[in-house]
């Protein structure tokens, strides 16, 4: 969502500019909490702080679903499924035939 070593895709930039102050990101689901928290820190130190000030990081969809079911996280109005790489091949960006 914020771009990566694999490519310059920065979908968050587009959403931030399209939605402005209406954007409120509830959660990021990323197996690399360190990478996600670093990206959030940068976002929270910019003009889009209001979009990310309450964002939580979850390692996978199951962890996020448990938080929603437990009531500790509000359900989002929209979900943007942005993924990169393959999780079962051990190679980032690899595609199965």
Is 90 a domain residue? no
The number of distinct structural domains making up the chain is: 1
Full domain range(s) for residue 20: 11-69
Is 79 a domain residue? no
Instruction: Write out pLDDT tens, residues 38-91.
Output: 989 999 999 999 999 999 999 998 999 999 998 888 788 888 776 655 444 444
Is 63 a domain residue? yes
Does 93 have pLDDT greater than 50?
no
Is 81 a domain residue? no
The DSSP annotation for 45-86 comes to TSTTHHHHTT-EEESSHHHHHHHHHTTSSPPPS-------S-
Give this prediction's pTM. 0.71
Is 19 a domain residue? yes
Is 88 a domain residue? no
Does 24 have pLDDT greater than 80?
yes
For residues 16 and 42, is the Cβ–Cβ distance under 8 A? no
Is 60 a domain residue? yes
Is 96 a domain residue? no
Supply the pLDDT for residue 97: 41
Residue 84 half-sphere exposure toward CB, CA atoms < 13 A: 16
> What are the tokens at 80?
């943007």
């Amino acid at each position: 969502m914020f771009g990566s070593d694999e490519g310059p895709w920065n979908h968050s930039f587009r959403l931030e500019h399209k939605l402005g102050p209406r954007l409120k990101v509830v959660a990021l689901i990323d197996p690399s909490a360190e990478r996600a928290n670093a990206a959030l820190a940068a976002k929270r130190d910019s003009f889009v702080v209001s979009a990310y000030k309450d964002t939580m990081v979850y390692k996978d969809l199951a962890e996020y679903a448990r938080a929603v079911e437990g009531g500790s996280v509000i359900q989002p109005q929209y979900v943007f499924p942005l993924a990169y790489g393959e999780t079962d091949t051990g190679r980032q960006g690899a595609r199965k035939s």
